[in-house]
Amino acid sequence: MVVALAAPLSQLVLSPGSAVTVSGLTWKHYQLALAELGDARTTRLTYHQGVLELRMPSLMHELINRLLGRIIFALAEELGLGIVDLGSTTWNREDLDQGIEPDSCFYIQHADRIQGLNPDIPANLPPDLAVEVDIASASGFKLAIYQALGVPEVWIYRKSQIQILDLRGSQIQSVECSLAFPAVTAGQLLRWIQLREIETDLTVVSAVRHFCQALSLPSDH
């Protein structure tokens, strides 16, 4: 739904699982919206060249997002990879007139460059992996934003399926294996998500750990 606002954004009430877009804005409007809404909010904002989307995650959205985050962390731990979890940190580029708040994002290949509790992250060092659970989103420009920011890989869950997207080239490509975790396929991610339908998060994390441990077994085991 696209609206023209006659009241402050802070007075806009969204139900869980819904999204609204506001058009005809400027970068300054976007920055004012971020300041007005503050950090202590449940909505997530996406801004693309004059269009602002506000999204209210649903219960299912958050369950899947957090599950994928746990899967990613378990993979990194078991495979001995560095990882920095920056959650839904706001990524802004005024020169691109774009900004986005991922459902989750991580530094993995470049985790060693993000040190301390308040790191100064260069504009040319985007996250290595972003996660989007596309249940409520009303916009179709998120992937273009990630690509413009230089994020190389996005996992996107929608319509009970998950895709691994490679954004490094001029064309966004759906690929079978993760760039951050080459042994992990989209099919394997989906099986872990489906396992959560009948089991708990801990069961899924345990399955991830067993998967990683099996990778290190001798081929004749």
Owner of token pair 């300041």: 35
| Domain CATH for 197 | 3.90.1570
Owning domain of residue 186: 59-215
Residue 165's SS3 state is: strand
Q: Is residue 24 part of a domain?
A: no
Q: Is residue 10 part of a domain?
A: no
What's the whole-number mean pLDDT along residues 101-125?
A: 95
Owner of token pair 């005024």: 94
Q: Is residue 156 part of a domain?
A: yes
Task: Identify the DSSP state of 11.
Answer: G
- Name the pTM for this structure: 0.91
Tokens of 204: 């899924």
What whole-number distance in Å separates Cα of residue 157 and Cα of residue 164? 9
What whole-number distance in Å separates Cα of residue 130 and Cα of residue 23? 25
Q: Is residue 187 part of a domain?
A: yes
What's the whole-number mean pLDDT along residues 91-97?
A: 96
Q: What is the total count of domains within the chain?
A: 1
What's the whole-number mean pLDDT along residues 100-117?
A: 96
Q: Is residue 133 part of a domain?
A: yes
What whole-number distance in Å separates Cα of residue 212 and Cα of residue 195? 17
- What amino acid occupies position 122? P
What's the half-sphere exposure (Cβ side, CA atoms, 13 Å) at 186? 17
User: What is the phi/psi pair of residue 105, to 5°?
Assistant: -150, 155
Q: Is residue 175 part of a domain?
A: yes
Q: Which of 50, 35, 59 is nearest to 99 (CA)?
A: 50
| pLDDT tens digits along 147-200 | 999 999 999 999 899 999 999 999 999 999 999 999 999 999 999 999 999 999
The strand pair at 153-158 and 129-133 is best described as parallel
Is the pLDDT confidence value at 220 over 70?
no
What's the whole-number mean pLDDT along residues 93-115?
A: 97
Identify whether the C-beta of residue 61 lies closer than 8 Å to the C-beta of residue 133.
yes
| pLDDT tens digits along 21-64 | 899 999 999 999 999 988 878 899 999 999 999 999 999 999 99
What pLDDT does residue 2 have?
46
- What amino acid occupies position 18? S
Tokens of 202: 């801990």
Of residues 207 and 20, the one with the higher pLDDT is 207
Instruction: Name the pLDDT band for 139 (thresholds 50, 70, 90).
Output: low
Q: Is residue 131 part of a domain?
A: yes
Give CA angle at 33 (30, 39), nearest 5°. Answer: 120
Q: Is residue 7 part of a domain?
A: no
